[in-house]
Amino acid sequence: MPETLPHVIEPSTRRAIFHLSFATFASMTIQRLCDPMLPQLALDFQVERVQAAHVISFFAITYGFMQVLFGPLGDRYGKYRVLSLATLGCSLGCLGSALALSLPFLVLCRVLTATCTAAIIPLGLAWVGDTVHYQIRQETLAKVGLGSTMGIVAGQLVGGLLTDTLGWRWAFGALSAVFFVVGWVLWSNPHARAQSPGQAHEAKGEVSLSFVTNAKAVLSKTRARRLMGFIFLEGCVVFGALAISATHLHDAQELRVSLAGLIVALFGLGGVIYMASAKWLIHRLGETQLIRCGALSYGLAYALIGFANVAWLDALAFAVAGFGFFMFHNTMQALATQLDPERRGTCMALFACILFGGQSLGVVACSGLIPVIGSDWVMLLAGVLLTLIGLTLPLWVEVGRREGNYS
């Protein structure tokens, strides 16, 4: 007898997922927008690059902390509704960034933007988890993730290009307009703003508005604690290295900021290629092989980035690194959506909180290591560490699979 699909996604839900991908695009664009700006920001505000990097690290810290608010709010009042309002709020933060006359004020506006951005990707992924059955969830998450990966390309490219031409303020102004339009489109979708369908058939009890209460319930599970530990390491290694990658190319090869940003943007292009082929790869490889292959691809690519010192090889390596990372990361997202269906918003908020907590530490650590061991060795170290993570995590996934935790 032929196997039937567990769920067919309704057209209205497909439209909502399509709109959501634009929100994740804008969210990831603003996160990566400042990476290639650091040398120019340091020059304009007459500060060291480590100080200029606060526009990235403070963003990450705020992004992680605000999950305390948005996870429970999404679980209680509707994930799509909350993220729609937050997207509109991002427009104000970007506008303030464009008008900033000092580094502290720019950091403050970045904090405001991060406060609102914190709701978009975690609650979007949780909404998909509520709406789409697990057997087809990872490929659906990949469709939403396509917006995120294109945002990495846009963030690096727009940040570098406009910094070298019109000026970095124009980059923030453009993102302010994008967030306003996308937020309005999201809010105009009454079907998606209704309570998530998954809550009707999966949630059995009342969900507290206390993040601490919900987080304790999630982390009481051994598999959740293990997975969140790996997520922290992933954020520290990958995003810490990514934040200094454009600076590494600029310093090591004396490339213009725009060209360095363009090369690093190929990391996102690699992710786009993965997302476009995700359905085939998911069914071909399965979760554990996706994790191993993804981490190994990233590791080899970053070793090349550290020591190639040839622009076209770096460009190829960043594309491979992005492909491998998103192969790894997309699988982690799917696993996280199934940790606690009743508190899925809190699960994905924890995911983001811990991921970007790792990023904030990683940015500081990688920036601090450059004067000690050099940026080339920092790139190599990032590749080695993620490879080790990718070889270890599947052991725990297999245990969870046998216990029926991810099905």
The pLDDT score that the predictor gives to residue 190 is 61
Residue 211 pLDDT class (50, 70, 90 cuts): low
Q: Is residue 290 part of a domain?
A: yes
Task: List all residues 6 or more positions away from 175 whose beta carbon is below 8 Å from its beta carbon.
Answer: 26, 29, 30, 33, 90, 94
Neighbours of 229 (CB within 10 A): 15
Helices (H) and strands (E) in the chain, counts: 21, 0
Whether pLDDT at 395 is above 80: no
Q: Is residue 393 part of a domain?
A: yes
Q: Is residue 5 part of a domain?
A: no
Q: What is the pLDDT of residues 234-291, one digit of tens each?
A: 888 888 888 888 888 887 777 777 788 778 878 878 888 888 888 788 878 877 888 8
Angle, alpha carbons 185-188-191 (nearest 5°) = 120
Q: Decide: residue 31, CB within 10 A, 0-12 exposed, 13-18 middle, 19+ buried.
A: buried
Q: Is residue 297 part of a domain?
A: yes
Distance CA(51)–CA(255), nearest Å, equals 22
The pLDDT score that the predictor gives to residue 1 is 35
Distances (CA, A) of 29 to 54, 64, 178, 185, 328: 17, 17, 10, 18, 20
By residue range, what is the domain housing residue 145?
11-196+210-402
CA 358 centroid distance within chain: 12
Residue 407 pLDDT class (50, 70, 90 cuts): very low
Alpha helices in 235-286 (DSSP H): 240-243, 245-253, 257-285
Report the candidate in 131, 124, 138 with the shortest Cα–Cα distance to residue 186.
Answer: 124
Q: What is the pLDDT of residues 36-58, one digit of tens each?
A: 788 888 888 888 877 888 888 88
Domain count, the chain: 1
Q: What is the pLDDT of residues 149-192, one digit of tens each?
A: 778 778 877 887 888 788 888 989 999 999 999 988 888 766 55
Report the candidate in 346, 333, 117 with the shortest Cα–Cα distance to residue 231.
Answer: 333
Distance CA(198)–CA(341), nearest Å, equals 9
Whether pLDDT at 321 is above 90: yes
Q: Is residue 101 part of a domain?
A: yes
* Helix, strand, coil percent content, the chain, rounded in steps of 5: 85, 0, 15
Residue 399 pLDDT class (50, 70, 90 cuts): low
Q: What is the pLDDT of residues 193-204, one digit of tens each?
A: 554 444 444 444
The pLDDT score that the predictor gives to residue 199 is 46
Q: Is residue 65 part of a domain?
A: yes
The pLDDT score that the predictor gives to residue 180 is 93
The pLDDT score that the predictor gives to residue 198 is 43
The pLDDT score that the predictor gives to residue 91 is 92
The pLDDT score that the predictor gives to residue 69 is 79
Average pLDDT value over all residues in the chain: 80
Q: Is residue 163 part of a domain?
A: yes
Q: Is residue 4 part of a domain?
A: no
Residue 179 sits in a domain of what CATH number? 1.20.1250.20
